[in-house]
Amino acid sequence: MYLGTDPKNQTLENSATRVAYNRLRRMIVTGALAPGVKLKIDNLKDVLELGASPIREALSLLTSDQLVVRLDQRGFRTAETSRENFEEILELRCTLEGKALRQSMENASDDHNEALILAHHRMTRADRSDHENFERHHKDFHMALISNCGSPLLMRFCDQLYDLNIRYRYIAGASSNYDGRSVDAEHQHILDAFLGGDAQSAEDQLVAHYRVTGSFLSKRFA
């Protein structure tokens, strides 16, 4: 997971808090912890086999990721989901990642291009039946596209929006073939436009990629 220069990383240097944060984040994003579920520290201690303090710290950090909500005097719960929230996430992704992609292309370098090609290769070779492993490589590719944007804060926003979006994909239980859609071809077109230096085409291809997925998921929610 991209951590960038987020000040909260200082807290995550505490290994127990890091473990709790990463595991809880994964459980929420993948839907293992459903939307709106109350997160009881005592229960999580048994599940995570960790103490109350690092779990509480991790939950506090996850509130800034919009994955956990703090209840006044009543602890924590996982964030609710809604079609309106999903559409807002989609619009923000298209806007911010489009901007980050252009900036990344403006800062193009051989080293970055090689890293991007490698990330794409790993994604295409990943076993899609292992959903968690594939999603890790999928995210690595999308983050690699914008990783040369020169803005750690923008990267953090894009990283957060990716996880918020992928949470909806897991909850919707969307299949990887998207009714015959060629996602691999879409990724290849984005990569080709990026490496070819065509910023407008690269951004258009990326936004179309997200909007097609968004339309597919919206139908699932309906």
143-155 pLDDT, tens per residue?
A: 999 999 999 999 9
Contact 18, 12 (CB under 8 A): yes
pLDDT for residue 6 is more than 50:
no
Which pTM does this prediction carry?
0.84
Q: How many CB atoms lie within 10 A of CB 70?
A: 14
Domains by residue range for the chain, with CATH: 9-78 (1.10.10.10), 83-221 (1.20.120.530)
pLDDT for the residue 101? 98
pLDDT of 1 above 50: no
pLDDT in tens, 49-108: 999 999 999 999 999 999 999 987 778 999 999 989 999 999 999 999 999 999 999 999
Residue 48 has pLDDT above 50, yes or no: yes
Of 219, 208, 194, give the one whose Cα is nearest residue 93. 208
Over residues 10-35, the mean pLDDT reads 85
Residue 221 has pLDDT above 80, yes or no: no
Residue 114, pLDDT > 80, answer yes
Task: State both tokens at 55.
Answer: 């779990």
